[in-house]
A and B are shown apart, each in its own frame.
Chain A
Amino acid sequence: MKIIVCIKSCPETAESEIKLTSDKNDIIRDKLVYTINESDNYALETALVLKEKYGGEITLITFGDKKSEDILRMGFAKGADYGIRIEEEKEIKDPLLVAQILALVIKNLNFDLILTGITSSDRGYGITNVALAKYLNLPFTTLVKKVEKEDNFLLIERELEGGLIEKRKIKLPCLLTIQTGIYPLRYASILAVKRAVSKEIKLIKLSELNLELKENISLKEYFIPKSERETLFLKGSEEEIADNLIKILKEKGIL
């Protein structure tokens, strides 16, 4: 199976403090660590598992700056075969436009399956993936938790609300968006990481695609959300905090 995986380099923000720039149009990025978007990592993992099971090759595609080549190399080290980076000469904020850009590149490639994450950890619209499928006129399924191949079809389990699973059969070629947790993530060996450093990455410039870069939505500003509750913060040493907590739990009748 020829598999394309769309991946994106995102700042790690789940465990770090975020501050806004003075114009409120961005977050302060210089101290943040960039890594592969969480659910894209599971899309990559799924591709690696499918390649092991059914054979084939994996092509990684990212739309981003030079720094995003790190995630392509990490993918090579884990077992991906080819990498393409579309140079992000201008930051695009409308996910529909990002999908068009990806579609223009992918339509010239030979593939059976496209895998993506379900959403990005930065803007988190969850739109680019499905939009890409539509621009390429492919059947698609979102929130995939399990995938198996059967002839020219994939058998899929998909996550619905409240612990419900929907089972589907989908014709290849198609696009799937992969939910986090589908498989445990592997780590690349140090040797493989070293080998990946010199691997060739195909570079495509945004300007080569001759696309009118019209965005239909725009960001006015970011702001820090207001707290819904007046939170009382407990301070002091760990000992003092523990004493205080126990006191509160006793007052509330929990202890």
Chain B
Amino acid sequence: MKEIIVFIEHRFSEILNNSYDALAFAYKWQSLRGGEISCLILTSEEKREIFNNLKDLANKIYLIKNKLLENYHPELYLKVIKDFLKEKENYLFVLGQTSNAYELASSLAIELSTPVITDINGIEKVNNEINFIRYFYGGKICGKINILDFNKKPFIVTIQSGSFKFEKRDIKSEIIEREANIDIEKNIEILGYEKEETGEIDITKSEIVIGIGRGLRDKKNLPMVEELAKKLKGVLAGSRPAIDAGWLTKDRQVGSSGKTIKPKLYLALGISGAFQHIVGIKNSDLIIAINKDPNAPIFSVSHYGIVEDLTKVVPALLKKL
């Protein structure tokens, strides 16, 4: 049976929620295929207490310590994790899908010659096969992926945020601590961190949020949605393409790389609903979406849907408000 090793990512002394997604996947895998669960944390002696949050959640907790591992560094983390996994024979290494997981998962796969699948949001066992499920084409379709010889060989997966439900366990955890020897030539230096500038309006505080996306098509359509926001006493927010196009500032971005909102009304205009966006809005009280593609993923989380071009519906709505 495989050892299921979950990478625990932390930032400024807090464990990232994505690591609990990874743990939730690990429990699901265990229920299908068995195996013991381990957590792997890279940290410093000063920050070692972080593991307290994981007690009772895994069979083993590996703490690998060095002052240089206090914060993520791509080359150091890669080296230490690689050395750790090299000692193992058959494992499944699980990471939550984060910015850093983008760097770690595939580079570990190359260093260790293992297969890798990113952004998994489901898993099923059919006979003796395991299907890994993930989105394709920006969330419009799902695909079932198989890994060759998955049973015999180690492999690496990353887990899409919020796709497996995390439930607390009560396992007696064994803590294994060791110091890491780090002696490599670095090509990358981390200079520091910065918060993106925020504007005057905090979209997370608004009860009514009007979201715009690619379907707005042109900046010239912006005044009509601005007027709608005003009439509904709400604020404008947007999906990534609306920010990239320069229609709205970065502090209005909703989704995994922006903000998570829970307004009373989320009105999604011309947003197809890539999973990175859906993660940020799906807990809104009421979701209404307007999109001309009937299969747009945004409808799968919407209470009400309108299959139409937003530039036709919004003017009609404005006339009546």
Contacts and interface: CB of A to CB of B under 8 A. Distances in A.
Interface of A: 13-18, 20, 27, 94-96, 118, 121-127, 130-131, 133-135, 139-143, 155, 157-171, 174, 177, 180-181, 184, 215-229, 231-234, 238-239, 241-243, 245-246, 248-249, 252, 254-255
B223 interface: no
27 contacts: A118-B102, A124-B119, A124-B138, A126-B102, A130-B102, A130-B106, A131-B106, A141-B103, A142-B99, A143-B102, A159-B257, A161-B98, A161-B99, A165-B194, A167-B193, A169-B189, A171-B187, A219-B143, A219-B145, A220-B131, A223-B143, A232-B304, A233-B304, A238-B313, A241-B308, A248-B304, A252-B286
A232 B286 CA distance: 12
A196 B145 CA distance: 40
A98 B173 CA distance: 41
Contacts of B288: 245, 248
Contacts of A130: 102-103, 106-107
Contact of B193 (A164, A234, A239, A254): A164
Question: Most chain-A Cβ atoms within 10 A of its Cβ — which of B146, B272, B316?
Answer: B316
B209 to A, nearest CB: 12
Contact of B118 (A27, A125, A219, A231): A125
Contacts of A217: 115, 117, 145-148
A124 B148 contact: no
Nearest to A25: B143
Given A96-B116, A224-B141, A229-B300, A124 B135 contact: yes
Question: Most chain-B Cβ atoms within 10 A of its Cβ — which of A139, A177, A249?
Answer: A249
A252 B263 CA distance: 13
Given A15-B272, A140-B103, A228-B301, A169 B191 contact: yes
A158 B99 contact: yes
Contacts of A224: 141-142, 295
B10 interface: no
Interface string B62-84: 00000000000011000000000
Given A18-B141, A125-B117, A221-B143, 10 more contacts: A96-B109, A124-B135, A162-B259, A163-B250, A224-B295, A228-B300, A232-B304, A241-B308, A241-B313, A242-B316
Nearest to B207: A254
Interface in B238-274: 240-241, 243-244, 246, 250-251, 253, 256-259, 264-265, 272, 274
Contacts of B315: 238
A123 B134 CA distance: 10
A96 B146 CA distance: 15
B117 A168 contact: no
Contacts of A171: 187-188
B256 to A, nearest CB: 7
A218 B148 contact: yes
B183 to A, nearest CB: 17
A13 B139 CA distance: 10
A231 B305 contact: yes
A158 B103 CA distance: 12
B158 to A, nearest CB: 9
A135 B293 contact: no
A254 to B, nearest CB: 5
Contact of A122 (B137, B256, B307, B317): B137
A121 to B, nearest CB: 6
Contacts of B190: 166-168
Contacts of A184: 246
Contact of B195 (A15, A135, A164, A246): A164
Contacts of B195: 163-165
B196 A18 contact: no
B143 A174 contact: no
